[in-house]
Amino acid sequence: MCFIHDQLAQAGHTIDYLCADEVPPQFQGRLSRFAFPLLVRRRANAAARAGKPYDIVNVHEPSAAAIAKYKRAAGNPIVVAMTYGVERRGWDLKLEEMRLGRESISLKTRVVYPLTSLWQSKIGFMNADHILCKNTEDRDYLVNWLNLSPERITRISPGADPIYATAAQGRSYRRMEKLLFAGTWIKRKGTIDLIASFSYLAKHYPSLQLTVLGSGVPSEVVRNDFPPGIREKVHCVNTANEAATAQAFADADLYLLPSLFEGTPLTLLEAMMSGLPIITTSICGMLDAIENGRNGLLVPVRSPDSISRACESLINNEELRARIGLAAQADAMNKYTWDRVAAPVQNVYERLSKARQKTPDLQVSRTAW
């Protein structure tokens, strides 16, 4: 959303940011789930008292309740609830993973999380003027769960910088040795299935290597999750800037994302822009971006065998690698540059503002969790 709002700023709109690190230290931790929504409301109220009320407040779903429900003192701004993956859907998935024995959730978390977060999301969604979501599944879920009008919800997407295409210029699809997983090393990203699949592939294709980019945990944690015999084939990389990240994508031969739940992952669009052949799960925003067999391969969730078979189909077919990689890159260039993905957001803001008979020069406040 920062990149999207940068596009709006270039169009002349004023953007303010309020982020979680502005919560006073004494209210950090669990209390921040209550402190930050109140901080959002206080910031909007202060702007209204100063005679410069916000036209639009874009607020992440867990923090939307206070400003969406009680906005008169803030000058009655338009409240847009932003979801990066509906948290209730994500919570239901975690509970399912626990029932399947794939993840443990403490009793404390099972009690505290719904009491501190999920109810605020629901109130925020129900009282927001509009909702921005990251995939079609989330949009349909919100319509069915809360009986919302589809017109109140807009699906948007992240984008990718053309630097990823530039870094990968001249990509050769002959080589098939370097697999790339880019994302936080958490179970929601399908790490259990990635480990099982790569463990099989590494034994049958000895030249294969796996790069884990931006894991967010020490490299020993990642490697120790793999069987001892293949840990030396797992390489953890952290990059300092986007140019280095783009080069890491350019150096890879295949992008793997076996996630169980997402919005629309930014790294998926970056992999497309890089021209990588892609294997990902047939859920959430991946279904919106990837057409199975045309610009990537889709596999079921929780299916290491399907991931392995899809990898083998690409390992053994250079023509298929090139065809889906080039198709993915063409789609990214045509659909997922930042100016293109920002347009629907600007259209929503301006349409809502016009309906309120506001001036076209919007002042947008975005809050981040």
Beta sheet of 209-213, edge-to-edge order: 234-237, 209-213, 178-182, 254-257, 278-281, 297-299
Question: Residue 363: pLDDT band by 50, 70, 90 thresholds?
Answer: low
- Please list the residue range(s) of the chain that carry CATH number 3.40.50.2000: 2-159+338-368, 163-335
pLDDT over threshold 60, residue 359: no
Amino acid identity of 314? L
Q: What angle do CA 167, 333, 274 make, to 5 degrees?
A: 30
The span from the CA of 30 to the CA of 28, in Å, is 7
Token pair in block for residue 332: 């990214």
CATH number of 163-335: 3.40.50.2000
| Distance (Å) of CA 140 to CA 107, 151, 152, 305 | 30, 12, 12, 30
C-alpha radius of gyration, the chain, whole number: 22
Helices vs strands, H then E, count in the chain: 16, 12
pLDDT over threshold 60, residue 366: no
pLDDT of the residue at 369: 35
pLDDT in tens, 117-149: 999 999 999 999 999 999 999 999 999 999 999
Spatial neighbors of 19 by CB under 8 A, at least 6 apart, are 367, 368
| Average pLDDT of span 157-186 | 96
Each residue of 253-274: b (16+ CB within 10 Å) or e? bbbbbbbbbbbbbbbbbbbbbb
Contact (Cβ atoms closer than 8 angstroms) between residue 157 and residue 84: no
| Average pLDDT of span 16-27 | 84
Amino acid identity of 338? W
* Burial of residue 308, with CB atoms counted within 10 A of its CB: 0-12 exposed, 13-18 middle, 19 or more buried: buried
pLDDT in tens, 69-82: 999 999 999 999 99
CATH number of 2-159+338-368: 3.40.50.2000
- Check residue 172 and give left, alpha or beta (phi > 0: left; psi -120 to 50: alpha): beta
pTM for the structure as a whole: 0.93
